[in-house]
Structure 1
Amino acid sequence: MTDFHLTGATILVDEALRAEPLGISDGVIVPDQPGRAVHLPGWQVLPGIIDVHGDGFERHLAPRRGAMSDLGAGLLAAEAELASNGITTAYLAQFYSWEGGMRGPDFAARMLSALDDTRPRLATDLRAQLRVETHLIDDYPRIEALIAAHAIGYVVFNDHIPHAALDKGKRPPRLTGQALKSGRSPEAHLALLTDLHARRAEVPAALSALAARLAGQGVLTGSHDDQSAEDRAAARAMGLRVAEFPETHDAARAAADMSEPIVLGAPNVVRGGSHAGKVSAAALVADGLCSALASDYHYPAPHQAALRLAERIGLPAAWALVSSGPAAMLGLSDRGRIAPGLRADLTALNPATGRPGLTVAGGRVTYADHHAAAAMLA
């Protein structure tokens, strides 16, 4: 169906749930009631979820180590999981790292090409977020070329080098496993890490220059896992505007004080805290220190987190963290809310299950449980 309207449900409009019909025509929300009526009594229709950072797609691209022969098929499978969880726009967080394997530069190039090739077959708006290791300075030209070639609009930078161990001349933890994953011997992997570690003084100037060039091309950039207010200040000085997954209250507060977007992990909310002992995302939300919740590694988490937070702050405010908040951060003015003229990106919560039962992306149905399918065929 391209033209249809929903009836019987309550619709989240202007921060309030309203019992009114909702029309969809030619991929956008319209004020009238075109086409077939889809009756969903008791359901709640909400803006589609915008996932600003998630790497759950990796499980679809490589269900087993080395099984990466058809990335397009994996992306189609990832879309199905995204849609079943109410996600209508997803930024796939692809690493560009010295870690190798699915996080290595060559795989990043393969994945980005596969996404471009597969996109015409998708209804969900799948985009790439490149997640770059800061110390790969010699790769910056290649990284910049990939960003331009694949029209990547959001790039974050992180540093996973085990500096503390290397400073002490110790063998880093998990070295052998990382080496095997990267296809290097442990000795070669250690030599690479040592070389990258030795260049850490070069990073701020090189990264500042890269971030400035990207900003000039309209690319949003951010830092990942800031541990302190000082870390956030350093990232800001290099031009990295977004604070992704700050690990402490001080780091998040430092971002908020400068009106910088803050991305938190939805799984942290669902779990009731960080699995790594970092700051509680729910506590940061309660303090107003969150612009967007991201799936991180688990695609069901955004809707689960929003519904859990709704018990504290109300559904409109909680759902904004997975819809209008991400849209504003990413400059997506055509989505994130339910209003005439905007993209018909919607998810409807089935009262029988408490989870998304119907997802519509750009006016096309991307997921329908058996209750929604029956309503559509009635």
Structure 2
Amino acid sequence: MQMTSQATSAPLAGITGRRVLGTGGIVPATLGFHDGCVAQQVPQAGPCLDAGELLVLPGIVDVHGDAFERAVMPRPGVSFPYAGALLDVDRQLLAHGITTEFHGVTLSWEGGLRGEAYALRMFEALAQLGPVLGASHKVHLRFEAHHLDGVETALAWMASGRVGLLAINDHLPTMARRIGDERKVLQYAERAECDMETFRNRLRAASRRAQEVPAAMSRMIAAARGAGLPVASHDDPDLATRQHYHRQGCRIAEFPLTVETAHAARQLGDDVVFGAPNVMRGASHTGAPNATEMVSAGLCTVLASDYYYPAPLQAAFKLAQLGVVDLPGAWKLVSRNPARAAGLRDRGALAPGLRADAIVVDDRQPGLPRVVGTIVGGELRHAAMSLPVIDISGAGLAGNDSMAA
């Protein structure tokens, strides 16, 4: 039997292959699945996907991805319903090996695409589409610090379980510096679905309450921690800012703006997130630290898709190709480490008891890895080529004991 459909299949009994990345490295192995998790033992019989010489890797856990915004609003002022957009995004995620996605949903004083109404559409679409989505979809709430009128709303969302991770953002100072740049203000206004003068007025109104921001953010962070949510601070500009947020319980430094800030975060034991597109491009598009250099220096623990879903897969392989780190080490940056940082102890590695989230990768063409199969919770959710499925009793390879550290 062969499976080539993207539709949800019946649960697999396992997967076998000659290059399976487990806790002990890349080895020949057969993994059994049971109730959506990697089993302690290989079942005696059942459908087993045979990956042969293709790579079998843990599914990617993406803690920050906002490329969905382009599916919702592909052009300024042109928006589409979230349900259809998310179905498209879900297929993109599966095709690029992302089995768990934290959508970077922004709640900002800007309004429009990054306002409350659009966020609510995301929540509603996720609830509606839950049974048909292939990947695991969660919300990374990007709260703009100066949006004081939105604090109660965000607190209610966190209390209701709608949010999986909170990040404190503050883009207002940068926007304020650009208020005289007609081109940039027009971009901001189009995203906010208003005219340029209205956007400037919103920015000025948010700025006038700056003195209230620190106390409000402390309240937000405390509430998130009380709800058991991981908390990140975004674009930390300096050591003092990272220390400030660390003291309040923000243990993730997301896209720090200087090498010194990243170094301070690691000294404090915090996770440091950089963008996988930064690795692919060889530089940050905003002048932030070079992510490849940060990985090499041990100052990056997590790579996120940021604005480009193909990036985590490709960045990990590029790091290995460059010799910055071997593939198992690079893969931790997009699977095990982000899962840990996000508080998801049930995924991120192919080990007994963890979720059976795995991808099959064709890496025969150097520099262009291709996901040809994606398994989520033990079910084949995406296939881009014919993948043989055999009876697990005939797999004839090592069992889970070969995956031990």
> What is the TM-score when the length of structure 2 is the normalising length?
0.86
- The reply on whether 1:333 has 2:345 as its aligned counterpart is yes
Q: Distance in 1 between matches of 2:169 and 2:128?
A: 28
SS of the equivalent of 1:263 reads: strand
2:19 pairs with 1:10: yes
- Quick one: which of 126, 140, 163 aligns to 1:152? 163
Shift in Å, 1:182: 2.2
> How far off its partner does 1:286 sit?
0.9
1:363 aligns with 2:378: yes
For residues 113-167 of structure 1, give each alpha carbon's deviation from its aligned partner in whole angstroms, at most 9, with x where no partner exists: 211221222231100111111001122001111223343120111111146856x
* CA–CA separation in structure 1 for the residues paired with 2:194 and 2:235: 27
Q: Equivalences for 1:245-264 in 2 at 5 Å? A: 245-264=255-274
Name the structure 2 match of 1:26: 35
Match of 2:131 in 1: 120
How many residues matched? 374
Query: Equivalences for 1:1-378 in 2 at 5 Å?
Result: 1-30=10-39, 31-33=41-43, 34-162=45-173, 165=176, 171=180, 174-311=184-321, 312=323, 313-353=325-365, 354-372=369-387, 375-376=388-389
Contact 1:80 1:366 in 2 (8 A): no
Partner AA of 1:29 in structure 2: V
The 1:236/1:38 distance shift into structure 2, 3 A limit, reads closer
SS in 1 for 2:130: helix
Moved over 4 A (4+): 163-166
Q: Deviation of residue 255 (structure 1)? A: 0.8
Code of the residue aligned with 1:331 in structure 2: it is G
CA drift of 1:178 comes to 2.3
State the Cα RMSD in Å: 2.1
Cα deviation, 1:262-295, whole Å, max 9, x if unaligned, reads 1111000111111122210111111111221100
What TM-score, normalized to structure 1?
Answer: 0.92
1:238 positional shift: 4.3
Alignment partners' CA distance in 2, 1:46 and 1:177: 39
Corresponding residue SS for 2:382 = strand
Letter paired with 1:193: L
Report the CA distance shift for 1:235/1:2 in structure 2 as closer, same or farther (over 3 A): same
Q: Contact between 2:172 and 2:203, CA under 8 Å: does it hold in 1?
A: yes
Distance 2:175 2:372 in 1: 48
Contact 1:88-1:361 at 8 Å conserved across structures:
yes
| SS of alignment partner, residue 22 of structure 1 | strand
Looking at secondary structure, tell me which structure has more helix per residue: 1
SS of structure 2 residue aligned to 1:8 = strand
CA offsets 1:156-181 (integer angstroms, 9 cap, x no match): 11111146856x9x635522342343
Of 176-185 and 196-205, deviating more is 176-185
CA–CA separation in structure 1 for the residues paired with 2:349 and 2:190: 46
Using the alignment, how far apart are the partners of 2:280 and 2:52 within structure 1?
28
Output the CA distance in 1 between the equivalents of 2:193 and 2:371. 41
In 2, Cα distance between equivalents of 1:163 and 1:6: 49
How far, CA to CA, are the matches of 1:99 and 1:376 in structure 2? Answer: 51
Asked which structure has the greater RCO (Cα within 8 Å, sep 6+), the reply is 2
Matching residue's letter, 2:234? H
Alpha-carbon deviation of 1:352? 4.0
